[in-house]
């Protein structure tokens, strides 16, 4: 909520006042300041912008940061180095084990395009520590080829990305790395909904199923196996249809009891919805659905109520989604 963010923002300001007195924090109610809202293109609340060197023209947007600690890291990485330079295996181990998650870049040299993309990504992911090294010994110790990025979770490598081959841009890497703050499949509830929307992946796939059904374990395993392949491209969400509080989502997707288990893809930007063509929730069917969606081949699903039998009896015809296209166009 706005109130929460405001408190975390104030806490970050208090802590940074001692460490970095040059960085000033301010807050503003722009409810009646229409000129300012227009000038800075403020469309949602709260919005946090960072102005550098007294320049009013192009402030940097601070998105998806909600905790004081992340605000502090975000600001520090914008005003100083964004990653820690690792010179020894002990130092690498300390970073990897200090937190749940850590991202380490293993490079041939510390001045190339891959390093630049890595450092820029670190600026946008303040939730986790970033370190980099060009030491042969450290790369050999972890048996990792140079110019690659590794995500460690609870001290173990869980993802390996070769930076040269993938031609990864900063946004793609940011999206990918931020997904590690969520589980591979995230169950939708009040707590996780905020996190789900904070991760900048605009394609979400949702599995609607009762979690206490006999077939649940098998369906869930299939879903999870497919999830690993599309990490960073499509976010996998599970919606328990037995949970009454999820009712609004069923309505939004027009899911009925007889439809479950059901799989849908939602594009957050266009609000377009897609229905998996196959009925069975197998790993192959899910993968095929995701791939056809990413290739732009999936058909948009326009949920519609049933056509009334007497839709064309009267001079004014009754239109629903199903007959709208054929009658009008």
Report pLDDT digits (tens) over 133-180: 999 999 999 999 888 999 999 999 999 988 875 556 888 899 999 999
Q: What is the pLDDT of residue 186?
A: 96
First to last CA, the chain: 44
Short-list 128, 142, 130, CA closest to 89: 142
pTM score of the predicted model: 0.81
Looking at the predicted structure, is the pLDDT value of residue 265 above 60? Answer: yes
Q: What is the pLDDT of residue 324?
A: 62
Q: What whole-number distance in Å separates Cα of residue 206 and Cα of residue 237? A: 5
Phi/psi for 303 (5° steps) reads -65, 140
- Which strand ranges, in their side-by-side order, compose the sheet holding 203-209? 185-187, 235-240, 203-209, 262-267, 273-275
Whether a cis peptide bond, with omega within 30° of 0, leads into 46 is: yes
Q: What whole-number distance in Å separates Cα of residue 202 and Cα of residue 221? A: 24
DSSP H or E run through 136: helix 136-141
Tokens of 66: 């909600």
Tell me the pLDDT tens digit for each residue of 205-238: 999 999 999 999 999 999 999 999 999 999 999 9
Q: What is the pLDDT of residue 164?
A: 73
Q: What whole-number distance in Å separates Cα of residue 133 and Cα of residue 26? A: 37
The residues, any chain, with a CB within 8 Å of residue 233's CB and separated by 6 or more, are: 175, 201, 203, 290, 294
Average pLDDT, rounded, for the chain: 89
Domains and CATH numbers, the chain: 2-79 (3.40.30.10), 84-178 (3.40.30.10), 183-295 (3.40.30.10), 303-328 (no CATH)
DSSP H or E run through 322: helix 321-328
Q: What is the pLDDT of residue 247?
A: 85
Count of beta carbons in the 10 Å neighbourhood of residue 187: 16
Short-list 282, 319, 283, CA closest to 302: 319
Spatial contact of 156 and 211, defined as CB atoms under 8 Å apart? no
Return the bridge partners of 205, or none. Answer: 236, 265
Q: What is the pLDDT of residue 303?
A: 60
Q: At 194, is the pLDDT very low, low, confident or very high (cuts 50, 70, 90)?
A: confident
């Amino acid at each position: 909520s706005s109130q929460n963010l405001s408190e975390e923002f104030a806490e970050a300001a208090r802590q940074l006042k001692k460490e970095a007195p040059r960085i000033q924090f301010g807050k503003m109610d722009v409810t009646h300041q229409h000129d300012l809202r227009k000038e800075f293109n403020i469309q949602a609340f709260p919005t946090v912008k960072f102005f550098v060197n007294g320049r009013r023209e192009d402030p940097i947007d601070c998105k998806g940061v909600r905790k004081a600690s992340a605000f502090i890291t975000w600001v520090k990485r914008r005003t100083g180095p964004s990653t820690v330079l690792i010179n020894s295996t002990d130092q690498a181990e300390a970073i990897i084990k200090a937190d749940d998650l850590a991202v380490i870049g293993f490079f041939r040299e510390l001045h190339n395009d891959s390093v630049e993309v890595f450092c820029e990504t670190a600026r946008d992911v303040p939730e986790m520590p970033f370190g980099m090294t060009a030491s042969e010994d450290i790369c050999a110790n972890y048996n990792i080829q140079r110019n690659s990025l590794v995500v460690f979770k609870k001290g173990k490598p869980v993802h390996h990305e070769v930076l040269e081959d993938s031609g990864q841009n900063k946004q793609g890497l940011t999206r990918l790395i931020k997904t590690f703050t969520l589980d591979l499949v995230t169950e939708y509830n009040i707590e996780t909904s905020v996190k789900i929307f904070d991760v900048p992946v605009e394609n979400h796939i949702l599995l609607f199923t009762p979690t206490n059904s006999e077939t649940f374990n098998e369906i869930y395993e299939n879903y999870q196996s497919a999830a690993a392949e599309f990490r960073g491209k499509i976010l996998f969400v599970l919606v328990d249809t037995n949970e009454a509080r999820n009712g609004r989502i069923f309505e939004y997707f027009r899911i009925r009891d007889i439809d479950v288990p059901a799989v849908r893809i939602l594009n957050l930007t266009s609000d377009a919805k897609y229905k998996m063509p196959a009925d069975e929730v197998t790993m192959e069917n899910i993968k095929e659905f995701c791939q056809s969606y990413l290739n732009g081949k999936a058909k948009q699903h326009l949920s519609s109520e049933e056509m009334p039998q007497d839709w064309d009896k009267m001079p004014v015809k009754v239109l629903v989604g199903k007959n709208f296209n054929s009658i009008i166009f």
